[in-house]
Structure 1
Amino acid sequence: MLTRQHRRWIRIIYPLGIAVAMATSAVCSTTVLAQGVPVDTTTTTTTTAVPQVPTTVVKQKPKVLKGKDVKVVYKVTTTDPVVFITIDDGSTVTPSLARYLDRNKIPVTTFAVSVMLWKHREWFRDRKRMTFENHTWNHAHMTLVSAAQRKHEVCGASQVARNVAKESPMYFRPPGGSFNSKVIDTVAQCGMKYLVMWNVEADGGVVRMAGRGKLGPGDIILMHFLPSLERSLVHLMEQIKRNGLKPALLRDYLT
């Protein structure tokens, strides 16, 4: 039997309990905005596992090439109507040449020696359709130098190209086209599997082809960074177009 005092406490506590329950329900339920769009205000706390960072780094050894892995290429085997403009060492790059190459979107495979490549690195970096390959550090005669000098000329040149272009050369071209088995072994040691020669020369505005009358698919064209290069390129591009061809990058065909 409830006493008068009990009934008094019930009248005080019961409404408070209902109010607390209603308040809790309101917080955990869906709130309706004035516009009538329901917005879920319930907050859920989840615990996300922190991924473990491996403490041991596994380094994969790069493939070690041998002399037998290096291919000597004078011409690319392809039926595509493309030729390959390759430009070797020299001493001259100009704003005018840059504008001509960029305006005509001419892809060029560059074999500049390290001394020139580093000296004019900003000019070369600005050429978006140009790749940078290996033509030695300082144009040494590769069949006449010591093994140590040969390795410095080739591996050192690759490092300079990486510093300029942020990628390693894929091809080596020997100065003067002079090479032997020792040179090929060094090319392999320095991580390249193509020794790229040429079958067409196009310096001085004259296109010289061995025993042929016109350019054909897969021709590798040799030029140099000479003061006459822009004029020679204009003449060469006319012949390329006249024969229904277009220039391409070696890296799109020799991989």
Structure 2
Amino acid sequence: MSTNALRDAWATLVPDRRDDPGNRHGPLPPLLIALTVVTGLVDAFSYLVLGRVFVANMTGNVVFIAFALAGSHDFSLAASLVALLAFAVGALLGGRLGVRFAAHRGRLLLAAVVAEAVLVLASYLYCLLVPHAETGGSRYLLVVLLGLAMGAQNAAVRRLAVPDLTTTVLTLTITGIAADSRAAGGGDSKIGRRLLSALSMFLGAFLGGLAALHGHAALPLLPAAVLLALACAALATQARSTLPWTGKP
């Protein structure tokens, strides 16, 4: 990896904290990287434990619905539809938060992450307290709780508009690495930040897979809840900030 790519990745993880009008996103990039890891953890749980359904990756659910309608018995039409609906409702609520906190991006993300943390922690505790929570009606309750959480996260992140850090969708990110590269005639593929985003998702999914397959089924939700709690703590320190990054991008 080139020096520029490493510098780009480092600047994403450790942004400049100076009161600089050019510092457009402040502490948001590393927080969004953490949320990308959370996405990988949560989707690992939903797919591997709840049975081939995503609560964050809605592209996958649309495809799963098509497979189920085509006659495949490996995918649940009901579970995918419930996930889509829950995600949409979560996105609607996240959109309302975006309107409520339109003037301060830090408070917007804080509100969304607090709600997400509560829902993920509730899901984890439910799995611990209810036997076979991954089956029957309990399965759908977990899909709803986590779908709401991820929908709210995605709506808030969309409003923040930090380039290349969507926390969920990697297709355009990976496309940008290749399409904007010098080999393709582009000037800058931002490979450092984009690879960091993809690796964060991979890391979350990998750790979530290990936890779900070789530990307790609900275990992927625990580090997700911890990361969300840490993000809440970091954002709480920025709630009164008036630096340029807090305004509209």
Same fold (TM over 0.5): no
**Bigger RCO of structures 1 and 2 (CA < 8 A, at least 6 apart):** 2
Superposition TM-score tier, normalisation by shorter sequence: under 0.3
Q: Which has the larger radius of gyration?
A: 1
Q: Whose helix proportion is higher, 1 or 2? A: 2
TM-score scaled by length of structure 2: 0.26
TM-score by length of 1: 0.25
Normalized per residue, the structure richer in strand is: 1
